[in-house]
């Protein structure tokens, strides 16, 4: 009973340390990316509330990437902390073999693997998809933040504009250029034009409407002279403009079942099933499904800290470096699994080979320790 209680405390301690490290690393990464989020959202005319929701949802996209590294750090701290303390001594003196503790570490790694699998397969794609949906036109708040004086703005598809001066919602010397169909309702002939340009001396912006004064509309037609229409006052409805933010889901935002159906059943419904996305699908699937199998390997690498030796290649720094190299390999290998079958095969088979080899080597090392003592 005492041993089981100690084992439970060990598992809880490792998981607590993992969560603390994971939260810290995710928070640092989110802080670095927060500035980019702010530029993307606020300057594109979305309210500040959308910025905070977008950032929170992106935490679920950032956190899973740090789970393996956080687990490596948590195990290194745990084993080094307890290696010579009373709890380990109680276990050794009561006849508990070190391989039993290795099994506890391995069992904990399985819990972390399930956590990683849960995040990468379900939670992260859902959160990233929700964050993209936040940037839909329905949440677009105001055109005003997108306007910066004497700078071209292209926050909307096919629509470019610049103003010389701006104070509050009033503007001077305005230039708008439309390559699409955003402004075609301004004239009966604009529907047949390729591009539309509007200039105005003054303007007032109120949310999704722009009121222009004393200007002209220049409509260009293919193989014909430009049409010029002067106006004293013109109202432009900006509510139908489409932002340049991506509206179709990326591969990372697509559910695992959809990606698998794309690979095995040639599902053509989803955008990610187009040929140009085939190379992206395999690395994403490998990251979600195969990477969790490398987490138990990390537990076995850290278990070498239990060996009584003064050799440098078994100290905490060396063990951490071995684990970090493994994580670095997995990250680099994922990038090539979509284009190289040899790398794909190696990436899938390697964790199972390493688990067998490391576990056998630990048993051998511990048996040698028992003989010498």
Predicted pLDDT of residue 350: 92
What is d(CA 87, CA 3) in angstroms, rounded to the nearest whole number? Answer: 10
* pLDDT confidence of residue 221: 66
Distance of alpha carbon 178 from its chain centroid, rounded? 33
Q: What does the domain layout of the chain look like in residue ranges?
A: 2-137+249-372, 144-237
Question: What pLDDT does residue 25 have?
Answer: 93
pLDDT at 257: 80
Q: Give the tens place of pLDDT for each residue, 92-128.
A: 777 778 888 899 999 999 999 999 999 988 898 888 8
Residues 60, 252 contacting (CB under 8 angstroms): no
Q: Regarding predicted confidence, which is higher, 48 or 332?
A: 332
pLDDT for 298: 95
- Contact of 50 with 41, CB cutoff 8 Å: yes
Residue 273 CB neighbours (<10 A): 19
pLDDT of residue 313: 60
Query: What angle in degrees, to the nearest 10, is found between the helix axes of 278-289 and 256-265?
Result: 130
At residue 12, the pLDDT reads 94
Instruction: Please determine, for residue 139, whether its predicted confidence score (pLDDT) is greater than 50.
Output: no
Task: Look at residue 57 and tell me whether its pLDDT is greater than 80.
Answer: yes
Instruction: Give 240's pLDDT tier (boundaries 50, 70, 90).
Output: low
Task: Give the pLDDT band (50/70/90) at residue 162.
Answer: confident
Q: Which strand ranges, in their side-by-side order, compose the sheet holding 159-167?
A: 153-156, 159-167, 170-178, 195-206, 209-220, 227-237
pLDDT at 187 over 50: no
pLDDT at 215 over 80: yes
- What is the average per-residue pLDDT within 74-93? 79
């Amino acid at each position: 009973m005492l041993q089981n209680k100690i084992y439970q405390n060990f598992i809880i301690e490792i998981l607590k340390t993992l969560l603390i490290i994971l939260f810290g690393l995710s928070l640092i990464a989110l802080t670095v990316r927060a500035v980019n989020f702010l530029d993307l959202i606020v300057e594109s005319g979305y309210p500040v509330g959308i910025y905070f929701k977008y950032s929170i949802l992106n935490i679920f996209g950032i956190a899973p990437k740090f789970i393996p590294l956080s687990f490596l750090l948590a195990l290194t701290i745990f084993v080094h902390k307890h290696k010579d303390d009373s709890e380990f001594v109680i276990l050794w003196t009561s006849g508990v073999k070190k391989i039993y503790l290795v099994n506890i570490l391995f069992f904990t790694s399985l819990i972390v693997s399930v956590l990683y699998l849960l995040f990468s397969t379900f939670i992260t794609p859902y959160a990233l998809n929700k964050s993209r949906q936040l940037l839909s036109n329905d949440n677009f708040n105001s055109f005003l933040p997108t306007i910066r004086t004497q700078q071209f703005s292209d926050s909307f598809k096919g629509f470019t504009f610049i103003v010389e001066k701006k104070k509050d919602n009033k503007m001077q010397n305005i230039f708008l250029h439309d390559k699409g169909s955003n402004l075609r309702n301004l004239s009966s002939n604009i529907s047949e034009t390729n591009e539309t340009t509007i200039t105005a001396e003054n303007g007032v912006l109120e949310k999704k409407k722009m009121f222009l004064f004393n200007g002209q509309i220049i409509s260009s037609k293919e193989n014909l002279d430009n049409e010029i229409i002067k106006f004293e006052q013109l109202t432009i409805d900006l509510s139908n403009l489409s932002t340049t933010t991506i509206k179709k889901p990326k591969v990372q935002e697509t559910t695992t079942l959809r990606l698998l159906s794309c690979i095995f059943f040639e599902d053509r419904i989803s955008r990610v099933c187009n040929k140009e996305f085939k190379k992206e699908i395999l690395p994403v699937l490998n990251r979600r499904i195969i990477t969790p199998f490398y987490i138990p390997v990390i537990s076995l690498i850290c278990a070498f800290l239990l060996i009584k030796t003064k050799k440098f290649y078994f100290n905490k720094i060396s063990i951490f470096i071995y684990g970090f190299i493994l994580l670095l390999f997995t990250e680099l290998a994922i990038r090539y699994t979509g284009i190289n079958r040899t790398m794909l095969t190696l990436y899938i088979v390697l964790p199972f080979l390493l688990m067998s080899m490391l576990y056998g080597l630990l048993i051998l090392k511990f048996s040698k320790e028992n003989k010498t003592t």
